[in-house]
Amino acid sequence: MLPRVTILGLGYIGLPTAALLASRGFRVQGVDSNPAVLARLASGRAHIAEPEVEALLERGLRTGLLTLHAEPPPAEVFLIAVPTPLGPDHAPVLEHVFAAARALAPALAEENLVLLESTSPIGATARVAALLGALRPDLSALHVAYGPERVLPGRILTELTENDRVAGGLTPEATRRAVDFYRLFVRGAVLGADAATAEMVKLAENAFRDVNIAFANELSLIAEAQGIDVWRVIALANRHPRVNILRPGPGVGGHCIAVDPWFLAAAAPEAARLIPAARAVDAAKRAHVIARAAALAEAGERLICLGLAFKADVDDLRESPALAIATALARRFPGQVVAVEPHLAAPPEGLAAPLLTLEQAFAAPGAVLLLTDHAAFARIPRAWLEGRAVIDTRGLFRDEETE
């Protein structure tokens, strides 16, 4: 018999996970502290744009396998999937995690499994267990583990099941129970570890990408200074059998790659050398893009910012370098900046620039600043770009050569 699952936090990970598990026959109890989110979900409408999630949400509500709650009901498995932002000094902020732990404590029973899925610094799972132990000293057998997701926005439902997964408990029994739970719906391998190892694995994966993207961005700055096409350099260098340079851009975004490296560095600041350097390269690349665009604006150019999301073909604005760059330019040059983001219906709060369609944006003169490589932008007629200054941070408009 499948266990009941209570999921705390119905955001980018919690909602798809809840909808997926309900579609697999689990009795899922979704919990969120935001009444507006609960009201929207209760109507069968998802508040995130992710393929197939809304259809599974509606089905789960209709069948009764997915129910929505403001407070956590009892279950056999509790899954915490709440935000873990950075503080102003790049320190991990775990208040949402601890609030979720306090909220679920009254619903706990003997032999329950509590899974922390929120991206967390090393030691967070142990801190959650300590908090739960203090709140519920009457429980002698509570199993706490860390089970980080490995998903890509736009493919979350697929990757929740297909990707390999690491599950790390605070005890061997907690690890066994976490691995057994994930194996109920994950087709990829589920690998056991201790909690601290699982926490570091998650952070290492995203820090790896951050460091390698920083290298690509540093190459782009060097190549630009030398008048060399960095895209050609990378394509040719990647013909080496042991080289795989990633693609440069205006910086990294999303909750994971832009945040997790700081969580890892916080574990041993005196040992972290490369990670802060990569973060500094990211900041330098954003500043460089702003400086190039500002020079055009100072010369009187209207700026057309193409893309606000942090990656192609999603509406996700979390830690988006595109949004940060467009916002900085709009504040510095009021009335000279417009934005095009086909995945948003209205401009995000604080942008201070109008959100236009492609046709509206290109109806008047202006320089083009390509910040996100949405598929819609790849279809822009090249005639629309003629006679305009173009800053292409993604290489989307580059004339491809035979590599």
Superfamily of structural domain 5-188: NAD(P)-binding Rossmann-like Domain (3.40.50.720)
Query: Average of pLDDT values for 217-228?
Result: 98
| The one-letter amino acid at 187 | R
Query: Average of pLDDT values for 210-229?
Result: 98
pLDDT for residue 154: 85
Sign of the CA dihedral with 258 first, then 261, 267, and 271 last = negative
Distance of CA 268 to the CA centre of its chain: 24
pLDDT for residue 403: 42
Q: Rounded mean pLDDT of the chain?
A: 95
Q: How do residues 57-92 score in pLDDT, each as one tens digit?
A: 999 999 999 999 999 999 999 999 999 998 888 889
Q: Which two tokens stand for residue 201?
A: 């694995």
Please report, for the chain, the start and end positions of each structural domain, with discontinuous segments joined by +: 5-188, 205-392
β-bridge pairing 165-169 and 190-194:
parallel
DSSP E strands in 159-310: the ranges are: 165-169, 190-194, 303-306
Query: Average of pLDDT values for 243-247?
Result: 96
* Catalytic residue positions, numbered: 202, 256
Cβ count near 240 (within 10 Å): 9
5-188 and 205-392: identical CATH topology: yes
pLDDT for residue 164: 97
pLDDT for residue 401: 47
Sequence-ordered alpha helix ranges (H) in 94-123: 95-104
Architecture field, domain 205-392: 3-Layer(aba) Sandwich (3.40)
Q: How far apart are CA 341 and CA 309, in angstroms?
A: 8
Residue 170 CB contacts under 8 Å (≥ 6 apart), including other chains: 125, 126, 129, 144, 145, 194, 195
Judged against a pLDDT cut of 70, whether residue 286 lies above it is answered with yes
Cβ count near 54 (within 10 Å): 18
Total number of residues shown for the chain:
403
Q: What is the CA radius of gyration of the chain?
A: 23
375 contacts 353 by C-beta, under 8 angstroms? no
Q: How far apart are CA 173 and CA 145, in angstroms?
A: 10
Nearest by Cα to 74 from 111, 40, 37: 111
Cβ count near 357 (within 10 Å): 11
| The one-letter amino acid at 108 | L
Q: How do residues 155-192 score in pLDDT, each as one tens digit?
A: 999 999 999 999 999 999 999 999 999 999 999 999 99
